[in-house]
Chains A and B, each alone.
Chain A
Amino acid sequence: MKMNTIIKFLAVPVLLMVMAGCSKDKLEEINENKNNPVDLPSRLLVTDAITKTAFSITGSDFAFYASVYTEHNVGIYNQMYNAEIRSGEPSLATTYNNTWGSVYETLYNLKIIINKTSEDGNEAGNFHTLGIAQVLTAYNLAILTDLMGDVPYEEALQPGEIFQPKLDKQEDLYNEVFSLLDAGIANLGKESTAASLGGQDFLYGGNADKWTQFAYGLKARYTARLAFRNGGKWADVITFANQSFTSAANEAKFVYDGSTTNSPFQTFFIDRDYFGASTSLHNKLVDRNDPRDATFFIPYPGKDDVEFAPNGSPDQVQGFYGISGIMSPTAPTYLLSYHEIEFLKAEAYARQGGVSADAETAFLNGLEAAFAKVGMELDSTYVVDEALRLFTANPLKEVMVQKYLSFFESEAVEAYNDIRRMKAMGENFITLDNPNNATKFPLRFTYGADDVTTNLNIADAYGNGSYIYTEKVWWAGGTR
């Protein structure tokens, strides 16, 4: 009786309550994720694919290190100093790891967008978003292989399924880049069933024509890139470039507002302060009486004069050397600039026929845009006395040098690509002054540590990292 009472009044209700409280349905309901969505429309994904491509991948670490190797800046502190003196950083797997991760993260999200908007996806018919995702995929893949050579792609981007993706050859990756661009152009040309991306597209506001121009511009850039391997398809470069930007208005430029979005080089200065004004770049500008010298370099805040840092052997000290004068919280990141298109065209014409009207027009358009980029008007004295004089003497050289100058400093990756391509082609138009280059010019960037430590294929390819001083990428004459 007493036992019955206790069981009836205490144990039974408690147990019944508890049994109901641990059913599979109940437990699953408790574990419902209230903080994150499990699915989203593609328009909410494409925005950050663009932002990451611009800020993290094009604009930040890759560009910072490239600006040291191309002597746009001198690394005067910590990691950038190490890069400058070629100690550690250039061959460490940790150096580019963050951006390596950003590229694959972005490629994975682009893959999700492509899957959603392709035939079997839940947004089939959203051709413009599909085309944009394809163009961005091509762009990111090209950056990755340009800097790192052979990288995983075919087996990549399958989390939880393939843990150690194999490397694909750079040649195959470039074929993929071109086919993605072609597919992207085709899709951008179709009638899309979905509403325009509008404000979700920070680059072009959902304008398919502008994206198409961007895609053609990329075809021009990458066709030129392979010049050493394809014998120089300069007519193609011109054809593609002609279908690209016709003015700076449509160039692929990511704009920062200085509050919610901040320009990478400016933020890098505020947060790190690792760069000094480059003696090498300064000398190149001074040699040609280039008026941009006074714009490119300013004294360190609070100082009166620009102290130039010697390339390769600066003192590791902050607050001493001059700094870049074109940094600002709103300085844009160029995915593909109008001046690059014009210089590509000028290079193609110059390679086809030396001095020509077409070459000169493109050259001067590029030069004007390069000056406009840094808020200057092209002055005729400089054009006549310097630029055209040098152009006439050696059109190809002057085009490449002006292109190099125009890339200061956020387009340093493209300057780095050009320097390596020209070396492969036996051209030494741009002299680099860092004495460490005698034995240690970084021919490429290392793979990211996240793969070096977890993917044996990458670990093998990375070895001890010293390959970056000895092995060129395929398009620059190497094997991988």
Chain B
Amino acid sequence: MRKITFLLVFFLLAGVNFAFAQTRTITGKVTSSQDGMGIPGATVLIKGTTIGTTTSIEGNYEIEVQPNHRTLVFRYVGMSTQEIPIGDQSNINIVLEPDVLQMDEVVVTALGISKERKALGYSVQEVSSENLTRSGSSNLSSALQGKLSGVEIKPSSGMPGASSQIIIRGARSFSGNNTPLYVVDGMPISSTSDFSTGNSVTGADIANRAVDIDPNDIESINVLKGQAAAALYGIRASNGVIIITTKSGKGNKTGKPEISFSNFTSFEQVSRAPDYQTKYAQGSYGMNIPNTSFSWGPEISKLPDDPTYGGNSQGHPGMYFVPQRDQAGLDPWVKPQVYDNYGDFFNTGYTTTTSLNISQATEKGNIAFGIGNSIQDGIVPSTGMDRWNAKAAGETKLNNFWSMGFSANYSRTSIDKLPAANDASLAGVYSAPPNYDLAGTPYNIPTDPYKQIYYRSLTFDNPYWGAAHNKFTESTDRFFGNGFVEYSPYISENMTLKTRYQLGTDSYTSHYQDIFEYGHKGSIGELNNYGVSSQTVNSLLTVNYNWKINSDFNFTALVGNELYHRNRKLYDEYGTGFNFGGWAHMSNAKIQQADESQYQDRTVGFFGNLALDFRNMLFLNITGRQDYVSTMPRDNNSFFYPSVSLGFIITELESLRDLPVLSYAKVRVSYAEVGQAGEYYPNFFSAPNYGGGFWGATPIQYPINGISSYLSNNVQYDPNLKPQNTQSYELGTELKFFSNRLGIDYSYSNQLVTDQIFQVPVAASTGAAALVMNGGEIKTDVHEIMLYATPVIYQGFQWDFNVNFSKINNMVNELAPGVESIFLGGFVTPQVRAGIGSTFPVIYGSSFERDASGNILVVDNPGAWNHGMPVDGAPGVIGEVSPDFILGFSNRFDYKGIALTATLDWKSGGQMYSGSNGLLDLYGVSSLSGDREETFVFEGVKPDGTPNDIVRGGPNDPDAYQDLLTNVLTNIDEYYIYDNSFVKLREVTLSYAIPKRLLNNVQLTVSLYARNILLWTELPNFDPESSQGNNNMGGSFERFSMPQTTSYGFGVNLNF
């Protein structure tokens, strides 16, 4: 130990001495080739060191160099970097050329290894801070929409903290995790929720843990899409990696602290309102029934004529009797009127995001501190989010050989939500009878706030009552971060050795509370408190050796070890039935139940990487990793995963250099194999569960009068479980034209995923419901194109655009033997499933009965109520969710500090189950159901094969149309399937950077923006990006789901 201290002191002193020796000053000016003006803020760096400075407002610089410093590097965003030998010069002026695609761009790859982009044999895409935050999104996944190729981002709604799915190059697992690994400043962190929404037909959404990340603190995001790119992460690499680098002050001008402050404030509105019929009142078959969910009643204007409730015959001419008003103690007689129940319910939400970042670079390193807050108030009453982020990071050189650093992040996130689907708080908003004044009629009787007044039976709560009394909250306190030491001894002129040890943690506690208050659904309510405390430790040791063999060859080797260990403790307290309303607490519950679970898991990996470069032209990279995993059976818990990639820059060939049009061309090819572990346990017994099916709550609740019981867990485990395997290869090319003004990056990748681990549903007659085993095969073909262009640069005006195109064909080839499809979520029918021969996932449910050629069959039975109507046929695949392609198109127009950017997102193809659309028809409130007095011929064929010509409906057949919608189509899930292609203006931003000289060297940027403007969609009535589920069923299944929003806002950004 003393030795080390001695060494440390020695090196430290040596370094200091060295620093004072023989310095001299170089000055100069950096100008732009475009306008000849000085470039302020350009970086001037001494090559091979972290010593540097930035240019002044006029473009001037001054830097002190020592004799061993040989080269100066000049860098500026958007300009090509230049390296100038110092020699004897004391004044170096330099003219920088614009560079759309920087040749020497450095990207962060697996395990934080920085590599030149040109050296990569696989696709990596970067999103810069500026691209991420220009429209003030407080949510990382929505900030990424439209900006990545090969990545599908599916938000569940526009609610504060809403979950979303990010899937890179299609799904690999049926029911397991398909989301990428998130790595923040070198530390893998948890991004998924500890609680799945399960079947996703009850309760509220549950946020993903990626919600804790503040996009404003992100310096850059690198997305490792393919398995070859991610292979060094081993068993956790199969879904790709999102590498986040936070703002650390690195690259700042040395000496002076930089302070940046920003505030974005936006206002949200519901993105779309359905078209309603406004002619017919509540009721059924033309009869006014004031407590039905249907609006198949009489014409609203004729309500006063109703024999029971009409006022014309009861001394209230022109009025009708509303029993709910009577219950509320109001005058029950009202004039018929049409209400905008949908519009009345939604508020204007707002989001305000503020962040402050202070950073400083010194000669020895850098330090940063940041604090951020995001407050959101949802468009649905009593929803919102409040998030605080604080972070500190720093890095310092201890001497020439040793350095150390840390990154520490704290977040606190609180979200208020409301439930959907079977518990939908919006059911009554979406489907209220047009003649019922939902907003204006009190939602409880005057004497008891917990006795609801509602227009229909309390299968759902009155939405206003629900917003006032039910509560769905979650809150998370989280810390993640790491510290590292790095040792890079001097070996020789052409060799470097860097040893780095990093220890990190990700630790959080989340508490959830789901409260259905006393009076919920006319009953006595329930509450569920649950939560998790999770601690992860990550230890990472890497040794990196670089040998510049000669002018042609460069060799790099890396070996390392990673240990990942996680402890989790979950609790669940469930209380059924309150004694009285107003005290929604466990102590007020008649039946109280508690459960806990504890989990541990560990992954240990040993890995190596060999890289050989030839003449900056050929780049070969080979990796291997051996993983040991605790969550697999004892005799089958270690696995080896290799990858190999090759990059070839064709334009480095002698004969192809300096071509007039083609400035850069590269091809790359890679192959990788990675796995994904399962969660194995020896078979066990568990407590019986009586929820689900027809039951709203759990009708049987152990312990029963002190007696407990258990049963064999109906999910069993295959003792021969092995990890699921992904074999993938990727081919790609990068081409740049016209001095890099136009660039294209194309990748084709193919993944074959076999031996998926999932709960294979087995025939119930086997005695188990499912067996956790290997089975299945998914094959994915992905075409990705990134296109960059700068079509116009003229006198300070610049137009850039880029296109991100993804075509992902994610096909399920096989499931386990005998299994045609597996359940991912939904109702008894319809469901979201993975099905053989279909893309992933599909919607499964009852279909229209069809003839052999696929025509819809109608009943030909004159006199029958369903004469001329279709019937429900066998259940099967009724919809494919995955789109044909996704295209993001971003434009940026710059003129002297004024920038206009716009990102369009186009999803073509794909379908979803839109329960709300179908139910609006069923309930008779949709505009389609307003055509009820007209005759119709249902498109189809009669059993004899002739086209259907049976005319139903019209004045002499008044019940037919209601029968069709409420008795026939409502049972045919296929009727609820809609194409949901869309084009959205994801964001449009107009910003102006007020010149520093006007504001005493303060850089002030102001911006106006709008987000998520739905321009066009095939889906009627609703925004297609509103659905159920925080898991693999996300984006496919909608039923009274929380809506999407459109935002309009403004931002201020101050830098000084």
Interface of A with B (CB < 8 Å)? 2-3, 5-6, 9-11, 14-15, 17-18, 21-22, 24, 26-28, 30-31, 33-40, 44-49, 51-52, 55-56, 60-61, 64, 81-82, 85, 87-88, 92-94, 97-98, 100-101, 104-105, 107-109, 111-112, 151-152, 156-160, 162-165, 199-200, 202, 257, 259-262, 264, 267-268, 270-273, 313, 315-320, 448-451, 453-456, 458, 464-465
Contact = CB atoms under 8 A, between A and B. Distances in A.
B818 A108 contact: no
A111 B628 CA distance: 37
B699 A264 contact: yes
B681 A33 contact: yes
Interface of B: 3-4, 7, 284-285, 289, 291-294, 401, 456-457, 459, 485, 487, 489, 497, 499, 501, 522-523, 539, 541, 543, 561, 563, 565, 577, 590-591, 596-602, 604, 628-631, 634-635, 637-638, 680-686, 688, 690, 692-697, 699-714, 716, 718, 761-769, 771, 773, 817-821, 828-829, 846, 865-866, 871-875, 966-968, 971
10 nearest A-B residue pairs (beta carbon): A108-B767, A47-B709, A159-B768, A22-B604, A455-B763, A36-B684, A48-B709, A22-B628, A271-B696, A157-B767
B690 A87 contact: no
Contacts of B767: 104-105, 107-108, 111, 156-159
A450 B285 CA distance: 38
B690 A56 contact: yes
Contact of B818 (A36, A49, A164): A164
B686 A10 contact: no
Contacts of A464: 873-874
Given A156-B765, A454-B763, A270 B696 contact: yes
Contact of A11 (B543, B637, B702): B543
Contacts of A24: 634-635, 637
Given A18-B539, A46-B709, A260-B702, 10 more contacts: A14-B501, A24-B635, A40-B685, A51-B709, A85-B967, A87-B971, A88-B872, A107-B767, A157-B765, A318-B291
B823 to A, nearest CB: 9
A319 B457 CA distance: 7
Contact of A453 (B489, B604, B820): B820
Contacts of A160: 716, 718, 762, 766, 768, 771, 773
Contacts of A51: 688, 700, 704, 709
Contact of A21 (B497, B596, B602, B714): B602
A17 B539 CA distance: 11
A257 B702 CA distance: 12
Contacts of B686: 36
A31 B681 contact: yes
5 contacts: A3-B497, A31-B681, A47-B707, A94-B875, A270-B523
Contact of B688 (A40, A48, A97): A48
Contacts, number: 293
A47 B706 CA distance: 12
A14 B541 contact: yes
B967 A105 contact: no
Contact of A5 (B3, B716, B818): B3
A178 B293 CA distance: 50
Indicate the member of B291, B293, B685, B686 with the most A CB atoms within 10 Å: B685
Contact of B577 (A85, A259, A453): A259
A2 to B, nearest CB: 5
A97 B681 contact: no
A317 B292 contact: yes
Contacts of A10: 485, 487, 499, 501, 541
Contact of B628 (A27, A44, A267): A27
B285 A11 contact: no
A85 to B, nearest CB: 7
Contacts of A82: 971
Contact of B684 (A33, A87, A268, A451): A33
Contact of B765 (A14, A104, A316, A320): A104
A451 B764 contact: yes
Contacts of B293: 318
Nearest to B1: A9
A104 B766 CA distance: 7
Contacts of B604: 18, 21-22
B601 A31 contact: yes
A260 B704 contact: yes
B457 A37 contact: no
B696 A108 contact: no
A2 B696 contact: no
Contact of B714 (A36, A94, A105): A105
Given A159-B771, A260-B705, A317-B289, A21 B694 contact: no
Contact of B561 (A2, A15, A33): A15
B499 A11 contact: yes
Nearest to B570: A35
Contact of B634 (A27, A449, A453): A27
Contacts of B769: 101, 105, 450
B685 A454 contact: no
A156 B4 CA distance: 69
A109 B829 contact: no
A455 B820 CA distance: 10
A157 B766 contact: yes
Nearest to B541: A14
Contact of A450 (B577, B763, B966): B763
A320 B289 contact: yes
B568 to A, nearest CB: 11
A30 B704 contact: no
B104 to A, nearest CB: 31
B765 A38 contact: no
B765 A151 contact: yes
Contact of B768 (A48, A52, A108, A318): A108
Contacts of A104: 764-767
A259 B576 CA distance: 9
B541 A48 contact: no
A34 B543 CA distance: 38
Contact of B712 (A3, A108, A316, A448): A108
A272 B602 contact: no
Nearest to B697: A271
Contacts of A108: 712, 767-768
Contact of A455 (B289, B818, B971): B818
Which of B456, B680, B700 has most chain A Cβ within 10 Å?
Answer: B700
Contacts of B601: 30-31
A152 B762 CA distance: 14
B758 to A, nearest CB: 13
Nearest to A270: B523
Q: Name which of A10, A272, A317 has the most chain B CB atoms within 10 A of its CB.
A: A317
A64 B497 CA distance: 75
Contact of B692 (A38, A98, A261): A98
B1014 to A, nearest CB: 32
Nearest to B963: A316
Nearest to A38: B684
Given A11-B541, A87-B967, A261 B763 contact: no
A455 B489 contact: no
Nearest to A11: B541
Contacts of B705: 199, 257, 260
A404 to B, nearest CB: 25
Nearest to B845: A94
Contacts of A6: 487, 489, 499
Contacts of B819: 453-454
B641 to A, nearest CB: 16
A218 B329 CA distance: 57
Given A261-B700, A261-B701, A34 B710 contact: no
Given A2-B489, A40-B710, A268-B694, A162 B875 contact: no
